[in-house]
Amino acid sequence: MKFTFRVLTTILILSPFWGWSQKIIYPEKDYKELFVYVQMGRVFADNKTFADAVPLSSTDSIGYWYSNYKKISGFRLDTFVKNHFQIRTIAVNNNIEKTQDVVQHIEELWTLLERQPNTQLQPSSLIPLPHEYIVPGGRFQEVYYWDSYFTMLGLQESGKTELIENILDNFAYLIDTYGHIPNGNRSYFLSRSQPPYFSLMVSLLAKQKGENIIVKYLPQLQKEYDYWMDKRSGTSHKVVLRDGSMLNRYWDQKSTPREESFYEDSSLAVGQSNRETLYKNLRSGAESGWDFSTRWFADGENLSTINTTDILPVDLNCLLYNLERTLEKGYSISGNLKKSTAFSQLARRRKRAIEKYFYNTKDGWYYDYILSKKRRSSEKTIAGITPFFFKISHIGKIRKAASIVEKDFLKSGGVVTTLHKSGQQWDAPNGWAPLQWITIEGLNNYKEKELAETIAKRWISLNTKVFENTGKLMEKYNVEDTNLMAGGGEYPSQDGFGWTNGVLLKLIKIYGKQ
């Protein structure tokens, strides 16, 4: 019998489950050559599509058939993938009744964005979770770490306390299973985390259910801290400076192209002398959540000079200060005064280091610190407001900071992320929901209520305007020209959208609709 492409396809369709027992797929490792050819051949415009695909048989059998198919005249890679994988579809909001009431829209979106426990799954890159959770929306059909805190702000206003606790329980499960909360619940995210907001999530739930909630999650809070301080992970998040200060940076554990952006990373590396260093810094930039921004670029302009691991970010260290303070409180409540005292001392030391290494006394703003140059960065970003969000900074510093927010960052639709228009999505003219909330609350903490209200009302107005024009809530917004959509980044702007919904609903409850 002469084998042809059609005959082989028919055989596999009739026998889709040969040897199919693997539960979690690691795309690059398990698909091998096929993965590289699909991603570099742009079978899908978005590399994440194939990384998230569900194989219709075992990876071994797919590899076997691929090795036979590719030798046949007329072989088409896109047809092979279509016949051997289930490709996910992007959820849209068409089933939600169109309404002019943005609050009602968000309340209905929670149901659309909620995912049920998925302990029994077809093999894929998705890591099963034991409880319900919320996904951001669009291409992001898994839970994301730092997104979830800002989503919870809205869930809190919607009275969904049980769902908040379920999401926390999922994160506790991930910490217990993998030693940290990954970027998202995909296998290809396991080499990195995201900005450590777990302690803020715990505190948010504690406001609803009492401070014993902190004790409930105390073991996971400790493991989270151990991960970032390199006590369990074996990575290099922690940096000890000349004076003995311990501060932190972002550091992905791998030095290969990101599976979900394989083509983009591989193409950028062409002609680069040290590809592994480039990949490490791209991955670490993704761990920051700011992927990408000139904040991380050595030359302040080009992605090819990304140098994330050379930078101590001010906001990351404020988050870890908050984690230390939460551990201090948790151990105090549980009666372990020795550990509570130890974390109190760690928090005080970090606070001193934040003031020493990140604060610029000349202009009154907080900047990142560049390790190789032994000086503060010159890149002014809205991350500099974070010490005020965590009440780290002295009240005497707020006037200069508020003036910088108003003069440099405040635009017609809210605060811009950086002062550079680079084409990167975490630069001007874009604004993002989490950074609006941090800025607004940072100002409120120091009685700058008028400026905080101005930012809030401009952001609410912009979100509402886009919603009324499109029926959508977006991942990011153009805050400089509110008639234009936000752009930049490796993928089109997404709608849904978890953290936008959460922050907008919270702000509307505080300031009202515009």
Is residue 286 within 8 A of residue 490, CB to CB? The reply is no
341, two tokens:
């005292």
256, two tokens:
């290969």
Residue 132 annotated in active site: no
Residue 475 annotated in active site: yes
- Return the DSSP state at 137: B
Is residue 306 within 8 A of residue 297, CB to CB? The reply is yes
Reference 301, options 384, 430, 423; nearest CA is 423
Work out whether strand 114-115 and strand 133-134 pair parallel, antiparallel, or are unpaired: antiparallel
Among the listed residues 291, 368, 379, 427, the single catalytic one is 291
* CA 175, chain centre distance (Å): 16
CA atoms of 399 and 154, how far apart (whole Å): 30
CA atoms of 472 and 145, how far apart (whole Å): 23
Half-sphere exposure of 499 (CA within 13 A, CB side): 22
CA atoms of 489 and 261, how far apart (whole Å): 11
Among the listed residues 30, 165, 368, 475, the single catalytic one is 475
- Measured at the alpha carbon of residue 252, what is the angle toward residues 37 and 434, in degrees to the nearest 5? 105
- Cβ atoms within 10 A of the Cβ of 8, count? 17
The 3 state secondary structure assigned to 60-106 is HHHHHHHHHHCCCCCCCHHHHHHHHEECCCCCCCCCCCCCCCHHHHH
CA atoms of 396 and 398, how far apart (whole Å): 6
317, two tokens:
């260290």
| Residue whose structure tokens are 């008028």 | 450
| Amino acid found at 169 | D
311, two tokens:
């930078």
Residues 6+ apart with CB under 8 A from 218: 327, 330, 331, 334
Catalytic residues: 291, 475
